[in-house]
């Protein structure tokens, strides 16, 4: 008997979000890195398809002339090599998020926008009403909208109904690296939504990423866990391997759980008598 | 003569009759590196040379930076 080898490895099937085609399911943040050079080495190690960015004022010096701070922060990074996912970080109202999204579109020349409307400065948890309203407004404006949301299952469903192209629930508050805090809700969001679910925020170690990918998350977004690791490029590589392993495990299908032990070795023919 | 405007949220004095393109040139900012918002309206690249700055105008020079 011969077993046909599949021509295409399903684990490498790209993720499509709007017009974007992602061959890597690790979305790489670009904030909080020790330097541009370190960020650049992380990107070379992880080889992401998509990177996130923020939209900010150009820093101007005291005389109104751009000083050293005005050099392009991402000067060492070839942004043209990546699908850009700008965010609306810094917005606390729908109006601010919509304005930032339009500036992001003009700067990135991309319709993709990660909507962030923060509802509480200390936890940086999203404002549910503002996130939903901003998603509706930006979908109407023709954006491909990926809202950052909490682990609230019903809100995630409402965001999908509002036209989100993907939904991005956080595992833990932004920048904490606390890892998965509400496994059940993340799993329910992954189960219930038809659009891709991208686990965003708070992941700490590669096993967190592998775990959510095993559950069927479409991708993960990792920033601080890489940027603040002792060796960021090595951690970037570890996350990319974990995401691939988790995706492959999801497609492979986990073994059934048994509450009683089941011997792996044959029970007969044991030379004990 | 100079006029008062708001540039990236701060009060600034600029010469009269400047265009946005000439302001960027004076600031040594490459136009393709920034998005310019003039009184809350985003300017297309080809509009920079024809957009004149008046007293009280609000200008924002915006770029993509590292973020999550």
- A1 inside domain: no
The angle, 0 to 180 degrees and rounded to 10, between the axes of the packed helices A153-161 and A183-192 is 30
- A106 inside domain: yes
pLDDT at A69: 45
Residue A236 parent element (H or E): helix A232-252
- A166 inside domain: yes
Q: Do B8 and A66 touch (CB under 8 A)?
A: no
- A225 inside domain: yes
- A8 inside domain: no
pLDDT at B50: 93
Q: Are A110 and A86 in contact (CB under 8 A)?
A: yes
What domains can you pick out in chain B, each with its CATH number? 2-62 (3.10.20.30)
Considering Cα of A22, then B67, then A193, then A205, what sign does the dihedral take?
Answer: positive
How far is residue A73's CA from residue A38's CA, in Å, rounded to a whole number? 12
Mutation for testing the B interface, residue in A30, A58, A89 having most B CBs under 10 Å: A58
DSSP assignment letter at A271: T
Q: Are A113 and A139 in contact (CB under 8 A)?
A: no
How far is residue B58's CA from residue A17's CA, in Å, rounded to a whole number? 36
* Non-local CB neighbours of A164 within 8 Å, separated by 6+ positions: A135, A139, A145, A146, A147, A195
pLDDT at A273: 78
- A67 inside domain: no
- CATH code of the domain covering residue A41: 3.20.20.70
pTM metric for this prediction: 0.90
Helix segments in A8-119, DSSP class H: 36-46, 94-108
Q: Retrieve residue A182's tokens.
A: 């509400």
pLDDT in tens, chain A (273 residues): 566 666 667 778 899 999 999 999 999 999 999 999 999 999 999 999 999 999 999 988 655 555 544 456 687 888 889 999 999 999 999 999 999 999 999 998 899 999 999 999 999 999 999 999 999 999 999 999 999 999 999 999 999 999 999 999 999 999 999 999 999 999 999 999 999 999 999 999 999 999 999 999 999 999 999 999 999 999 999 999 999 999 999 999 999 999 999 999 998 999 987
Find the domain containing A174 and state its range. 14-53+75-250
pLDDT less than 70: residues of chain B: none
Q: Do B62 and A53 touch (CB under 8 A)?
A: no
The catalytic residue among A28, A114, A187, A244 is: A114
A114: annotated active-site residue: yes
Does ipTM surpass 0.85 in this model?
A: yes
Total number of domains in chain A? 1
Chain A CB within 8 Å of residue B3 CB: no
Q: State in Å, rounded, how far the first CA of chain A is from the last one.
A: 38
B61 interaction partners in chain A (CB closer than 8 Å): 57-58, 60
A96 interaction partners in chain B (CB closer than 8 Å): none
Q: What confidence tens digit (pLDDT) does each residue in A122-160 have?
A: 999 999 999 999 999 999 999 999 999 999 999 999 999
Q: Are B68 and A221 in contact (CB under 8 A)?
A: yes
- Chain A: residue nearest B11 by CA? A64
Residue B55 to chain A, least CA–CA distance (Å): 16
- A265 inside domain: no
How far is residue A156's CA from residue A166's CA, in Å, rounded to a whole number? 10
């Amino acid at each position: 008997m011969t077993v046909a080898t599949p021509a295409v490895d399903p684990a490498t099937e790209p993720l499509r979000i709007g017009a974007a085609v992602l061959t890597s399911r690790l979305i790489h943040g670009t904030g909080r890195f020790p330097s541009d050079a370190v960020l650049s080495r992380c990107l070379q190690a992880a080889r992401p398809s998509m990177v996130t960015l923020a939209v900010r004022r150009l820093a101007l010096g005291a005389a109104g002339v751009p000083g050293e701070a005005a050099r392009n922060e991402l000067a060492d990074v070839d942004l043209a090599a990546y699908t850009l996912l700008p965010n609306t970080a810094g917005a606390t109202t729908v109006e601010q998020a919509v304005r930032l999204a339009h500036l992001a579109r003009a700067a990135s020349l991309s319709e993709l926008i990660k909507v962030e409307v923060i509802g509480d400065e200390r936890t940086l948890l999203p404002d549910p009403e503002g996130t939903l309203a901003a998603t509706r407004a930006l979908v109407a404006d023709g954006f491909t909208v990926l809202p950052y949301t909490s682990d609230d299952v019903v809100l995630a469903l409402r965001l999908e109904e509002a036209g989100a192209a993907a939904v991005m629930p956080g595992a833990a508050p932004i920048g904490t690296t606390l890892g998965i805090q509400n496994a059940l809700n993340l799993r329910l969001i992954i189960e219930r939504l038809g659009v891709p679910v991208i686990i965003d925020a708070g992941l700490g170690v590669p096993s967190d990423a592998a775990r959510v990918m095993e559950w069927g998350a479409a991708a993960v977004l990792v920033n601080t866990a890489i940027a603040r690791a002792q060796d960021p490029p090595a951690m970037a590589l570890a996350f990319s391997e974990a995401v691939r392993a988790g995706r492959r495990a999801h497609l492979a299908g986990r073994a059934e759980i048994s509450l009683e032990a089941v011997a792996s070795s044959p029970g007969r023919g044991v030379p004990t008598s | 003569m100079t006029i008062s405007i708001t540039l990236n949220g701060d009060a600034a004095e600029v010469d009269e009759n400047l265009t946005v393109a000439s302001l960027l040139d004076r600031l040594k900012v490459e136009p393709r590196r920034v998005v310019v918002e003039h009184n809350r309206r985003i300017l297309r690249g080809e509009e920079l040379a024809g957009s004149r700055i008046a007293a009280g105008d609000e200008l924002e020079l915006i770029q993509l930076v590292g973020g999550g």
